[in-house]
Amino acid sequence: MRLLFLGDIVGRPGRKAVIDALPGLRRRYALDFVIINGENAAGGFGITEAILEELIAAGADVVTLGNHAFDQKEALVFIERHERLIRPINYPQGTPGRGATLLKSAGGAEVLVINAMGRIFMPELDCPFRAIDAEITACRLKQGADAIVIDFHAEATSEKQAMGYFVDGRASAVIGTHTHAPTADERVLPSGTAFISDVGMCGDYNSVLGMDVEEPISRFLTKIPRQRFEPARGPATLSGLAVEIDDKTGLAVRCGALRMGPNLEPAEPAFWAA
Ligand SMILES: [Fe+2]
Ligand SMILES: [Fe+2]
């Protein structure tokens, strides 16, 4: 099975890049399943129902979220209607929406996608390790699901790497999101889980984390917020992780970075290029 995960979409440039490229990518690479983090899709903050529907129409199977999940208040309501939109599973009990979803891929495989949030330099949610453990114990790889993909939305690389090894051999992939800067440590862990500390963003990299540089610099210099953070308006670069999953075991065979666009060195997974 061929899976593509794209990192946090930031604002209109990120949405445009994804919507323009995704149908072609699905065809070119014969993708079975596509997951996108959409927590910054609406002007950099949260997601609206109209944007969610655009992303699904463009070819996203699942859209994940993070600490910005509910920045657009309408998400508190419409999230209940959409099985393809998930927010971190370790929010307190009673939070609207779901933290995991089980859906069929293009080829008919059952894919369990889980979103969780780290706790280092982040809002203190419930324990993400215990929440994920409970989920992948209730729905085991090759028993309840043909593939299990975890979007671990966290700041600290230590917490992300610990999560990778915690579920190694029990999930197909653990993909880090949230920092908006891709790391170069993608690999398949010893027991078969594909891993990257952070997949990066789909946004304008000529920016500070996708935002126009002026306000972030001013806040570092003066400590006074002067205006809203606005997404940088230049063309966005797609940043993702390609994962090849063994249909028999549900574990990863290979993974590789996919980066397309200006301001970032391009990357194409060699095992898909042919
Ligand atoms: Fe983000
Ligand atoms: Fe985030």
How much is the pLDDT for 273? Answer: 72
| Ligand lying nearest the CA atom of residue 41 | 1
| Ligand lying nearest the CA atom of residue 36 | 1
Q: What is the 3-state secondary structure (H, E, C) of 48-61?
A: CHHHHHHHHHHCCC
**Residue 203 · residue 229 · CB < 8 Å:** no
Neighbours of ion ligand 2 (CB under 5 A): 66-67, 178
How much is the pLDDT for 58? Answer: 98
Q: Nearest CA to 116 among 77, 167, 76, 74?
A: 167
How many angstroms is it from 49 CA to the middle of ligand 2?
A: 19
Rounded CA-CA distance 33/61 in Å is 6
| Cα–Cα distance list, 67 to 83, 127, 150 (Å) | 19, 15, 16
How many angstroms is it from 66 CA to the middle of ligand 2?
A: 5
* 173-177, strands of its sheet edge to edge: 100-104, 110-117, 147-153, 173-177, 194-196, 187-188
How many angstroms is it from 88 CA to the middle of ligand 2?
A: 11
Print pLDDT tens along the chain (274 aa): 999 999 999 999 999 999 999 999 999 999 999 999 999 999 999 999 999 999 999 999 999 999 999 999 999 999 999 999 999 999 999 999 999 999 999 999 999 999 999 999 999 999 999 999 999 999 999 999 999 999 999 999 999 999 999 999 999 999 999 999 999 999 999 999 999 999 999 999 999 999 999 999 999 999 999 999 999 999 999 999 999 999 999 999 999 999 999 999 999 998 887 5
* Residues forming the active site: 68
How much is the pLDDT for 274? Answer: 57
- Strand 252-260 vs strand 238-245: parallel, antiparallel, or unpaired? antiparallel
How many angstroms is it from 8 CA to the middle of ligand 1?
A: 5
Alpha helical stretches, state H, 97-156: 128-138
| Ligand lying nearest the CA atom of residue 239 | 1
Q: pTM value?
A: 0.98
How many angstroms is it from 247 CA to the middle of ligand 1?
A: 31
How many angstroms is it from 145 CA to the middle of ligand 1?
A: 27
Rounded CA-CA distance 143/177 in Å is 27
